[in-house]
Amino acid sequence: MEKIYGIDLGTTNSCISVLEGGKPVTIPVDGSGIVPSVVSLDGKNMLVGRKAWNRAAAFPRQSIRSVKRLMGTTEELTLGDKSYEPEDISAMILRYLCDEAHRIGGHEVERVVITVPAYFSDAQRRSTMEAGKRAGLTVERIINEPTAAALFYDHVRASSGDASAKDGSAGGRYSLVYDLGGGTFDVSILQMGDIIEVLASTGDTHLGGDDFDNRIVTRILEQIREKDGLNLEDHLPALARLRAVAENAKIALSRKASVWIEETHIPAPRGKNCTVSMELSREAFEDLTEDLVERTITSVEQAMQEARLAPGQIGRVLLVGGMTRMPIIPARLEKIFGAAQMPAVDPDLSVANGAAIQGGIISGENCEQILVDVTPHTLSLKTLSYAGERLFDCVPIIPRNTQIPVTRARTFHTVVRHQELVQLQVYQGESPEPEGNTLIGMTDLKLAKAEANCPIIVEYSYDLNGIVHLVGEQKGYSRKTELRIDSRNPELFGSQDLTEIEDGEDEDESAEGNSEDAGSAVNFVTQRARTLIAGMEAGEARDLLSSLLVRYEEALRDGGDEGDVDEIEDELLSLMEDGVEEDEEDDEEE
Ligand code: ADP
Ligand code: MG
């Protein structure tokens, strides 16, 4: 049977595991199995892993680290005379892991499960899948790192004969996974049992060990500035060297109460060298980084709120990621969760091992555990707002933390008679305002001629890999559009992937024609907005709103001058505000 390997593609370190006789085993790539996610160009050779890491401090310009932070972006990376996309660099790391696993284990690696932070956006997940493809791999599944870790902990408990592992009574039904790695922080709350259910997951894709290292770097830079009057803030070779020094100090402080930072060869501009010698106590380090730790605690509290759980209900706190070896982390968590169990399992390997278990489940090797995952972000549709404060709202279609796979639909309504099209804009994020969220895709649905308030059904699906599909349909007219989202190329939105399915039955071909009275407002109103518009006494107000909308959209589309757009917007807002007031008065009368 062809095995499916589990890969933890980390910001700082990566790891590959596979099931052997029903047990996950980490393949000792680069000795320990903890493989730095670094590539470095040495002449014509592209080094990956530990060798690249060794070279990176001395040759930062020929090296790339923390590429995971760039996944989902279109940033170009240069090595030598070639430029690369983030996916290419991640593909090199994946390829290296698989080649080494082949060399060590003797089996070719083709099928993989790759983990991502639960907080990763759609673009970042797609980008990760793309990296797998570029590495020549079949990516069977993308799963969330905390979920993988919990799968592994659960497996360890079950196979160690812990009777409470499955029924969840003694160990507590709920586990919290706290994962602080090199570049990302994740916290998830899981309900343990025959099914592992993710009740909540949140975090920060820009918070991790690098930030802690940078605090020490800043401290050293201060000392150099005071001592030598040198400002090395923008001197890349010095920074690369100091980051390595800082990381070593941080790691040492997990074991020791104090360290001496001694460095005699810090490269300075014009070929100079400078030195640093300072003592850093664990206490001082904890002071320097207290706010970072507190940021993780805020996320923990947020996750608890989302799961509607009190700390006393958490039976286990699972620590994942190299940074959780810092004593402050378990200490701080213990303040909140009291005597919750923190099992002593290697925080570096559990994610890859969990991914290998998931691989076994897919290939049919181990079917005991079923995995239920959740959506990390709310997916909403931009609609015309009913309230006066802003013109547009994001109306949620799939709320965050909904179990996946999921398909949800909602009905919206057109604004004007003979509206030509509606623009379906998919937003990701928790804000009610579009500006506060990320636009991840958009498409147009061309409409058949119809009266105003024509129902439009919008259906979103979120698949097992956390990827988004959209279907929009004009009800009763068989006009449909589907969207595959490539959120990494936002400039292509709207023009691509538009498929129209027409059955022609109730199709009025002339609807395509440019009739004079065809409204071309490209927005939706929600059910509430529809009521508001329909409830207006005079046809006049409603017509005014319609024509204003048409003008507004035209001005926006033609890139009309700002003053113009603003003016129409103001008019629209005041009209809608009046509408709301009317509505409220009606309510009072009743
Ligand atoms: P990622 O999942 O982002 O790849 P890891 O889980 O491998 O990251 O964690 C890497 C981070 O953990 C780095 O910032 C590293 O410096 C830090 N780290 C590793 N070991 C220790 C330790 N003993 N004490 C403190 N930090 C550590
Ligand atoms: Mg990790």
pLDDT digits (tens, 9 = 90+) for 345-392: 788 999 999 999 999 988 887 545 545 566 778 899 988 765 555 667
**Residues in the chain, how many?**
590
Structure tokens at 576: 């809608």
Report every protein residue that has its C-beta within 5 angstroms of ion ligand 2. 10, 181
Q: Are 181 and 324 in contact (CB under 8 A)?
A: no
| Interatomic CA distance for residues 458 and 467, integer angstroms | 17
181 CA distance to ligand 1 middle (Å): 5
Nearest atom of ligand 1 to the alpha carbon of 12: 4
Instruction: Give the burial class of 234: count Cβ atoms within 10 A of its Cβ; 0-12 exposed, 13-18 middle, 19 or more buried.
Output: exposed
Which residues have CB under 6 Å of ligand 1?
A: 10-13, 181-184, 208-209, 247, 250-251, 254, 321-323, 325-326, 348
Burial class (CB in 10 A: 0-12, 13-18, 19+), 339: exposed
Between the CA of 254 and the centroid of ligand 1 the distance, in Å, is 11
pLDDT for position 543:
62
Task: Determine the Cα–Cα distance for residues 50 and 214; give it in Å rounded to an integer.
Answer: 21
Q: What is the pLDDT of residue 141?
A: 94
User: Where does 81-208 have alpha helices with state H?
Assistant: 86-105, 122-134, 145-159, 164-167
The answer to whether residues 178 and 350 touch, using CB atoms and an 8 Å cutoff, is no
What count of other Cβ atoms lies within 10 Å of the Cβ of residue 544?
15
2 neighbors 8 (Cβ within 8 angstroms): no
Q: Which residue has the tokens 């207290």?
A: 290
- Which atom of ligand 1 is nearest to 208's Cα? 14
- Give backbone dihedrals phi and psi of 454, rounded to 5 degrees, phi first: -65, 130
Domains and CATH numbers, the chain: 4-207+292-374 (3.30.420.40), 379-499 (2.60.34.10), 524-589 (no CATH)
Q: What confidence tier does 561 reach under pLDDT thresholds 50, 70, 90?
A: low
Per the model's pLDDT, the better-predicted residue between 223 and 405 turns out to be 223
Nearest atom (ligand 1) to Cα of 250? 25
Give the span between the Cα atoms of 18 and 300, in whole angstroms. 31
Least distant ligand from the CA of 243:
1
Instruction: List the residue whose alpha carbon is closest to atom 13 of ligand 1.
Output: 182
Taking the centre of ligand 2 as the mean of its atom positions, its distance from the CA of residue 489, in whole angstroms, is 27
pLDDT digits (tens, 9 = 90+) for 435-449: 899 888 888 888 888
Q: Which of 433-442, 489-498, 567-576 has the lowest mean pLDDT?
A: 489-498
- Kindly identify the ligand whose nearest atom is closest to the C-alpha of 35: 1
Q: Which of 220, 282, 222, 275 is nearest to 250 (CA)?
A: 282
What token pair was written down for 132? 């797998």
User: CB–CB of 43/36 below 8 Å?
Assistant: no
Distances (CA, A) of 290 to 212, 286, 347, 348, 366: 10, 6, 22, 23, 42
Q: What is the DSSP letter of 115?
A: E
Position with higher pLDDT, 487 vs 84: 84
- In degrees rounded to 5, what are phi and psi of residue 120? -60, 140
Of the two residues 122 and 401, the one the predictor is more confident about is 122
Q: Please tell me the distance from the alpha carbon of residue 241 to that of residue 223, in angstroms, as a whole number.
A: 15
Degrees, nearest 5: CA angle 551-555-557: 115
The residue contributing the CA closest to ligand 1 atom 11 is 182
Most informative mutation of 323, 329, 349, 350 for ligand 1 (most atoms within 8 A of CB): 323
Pairing of strands 370-374, 379-384: unpaired
Render pLDDT for 108-136 as a digit per residue (tens, 0 to 9): 999 999 999 877 888 999 999 999 999 99
DSSP annotation of 464: T
Rounded CA-CA distance 176/198 in Å is: 10
**Which residue's CA is minimally distant from atom 20 of ligand 1?**
322
DSSP three-state, residue 368: coil
Distance 353 CA to ligand 2 centre (A): 12
Q: Whose CA is nearest to atom 6 of ligand 1?
A: 321
Cα Dmax for the chain: 83
> Which run of H or E residues covers position 353?
helix 350-363
Instruction: Look at ligand 1, atom 25, and give the residue with the nearest C-alpha.
Output: 251
Å from CA of 120 to ligand 2 middle: 13
pLDDT exceeds cutoff 90 at 562: no
Atom of ligand 1 nearest to the CA of 321: 6
Return the pLDDT at 340: 67
Mutation to probe ligand 1, out of 145, 251, 349, 350 (largest number of atoms < 8 A from CB): 251
Q: How remote is the CA of residue 118 from the centroid of ligand 2, in Å?
A: 11
Beta bridge partners of 20: 23
Please state, in angstroms and rounded to a whole number, the distance separating the CA atoms of residues 119 and 125. 10
User: Tokens 């099931």 correspond to what residue?
Assistant: 19
- A 10 A CB-CB count for 294 gives 11
- Residues 522-536: what's their mean pLDDT? 48
Amino acid 45 reads: N
Phi, psi values for residue 585, rounded to 5° = -60, -45
The answer to whether the CB of 476 falls within 8 A of the CB of 470 is: no
Of 62-71, 301-310, 331-340, 562-571, the range with the lowest mean pLDDT is 562-571
How far, in Å, from the CA of 181 to the mean position of ligand 2? Answer: 5
Cβ-proximal residues to 198 (8 Å cutoff; 6+ apart), any chain: 118, 144, 146, 147, 188, 189, 190, 191, 372, 373, 374, 401, 403
**Ligand 2 midpoint to CA 338 (Å):** 25
Looking at residue 534, its amino acid is: A
Model pTM? Answer: 0.67
Instruction: Give the nearest ligand 1 atom to 14 CA.
Output: 4
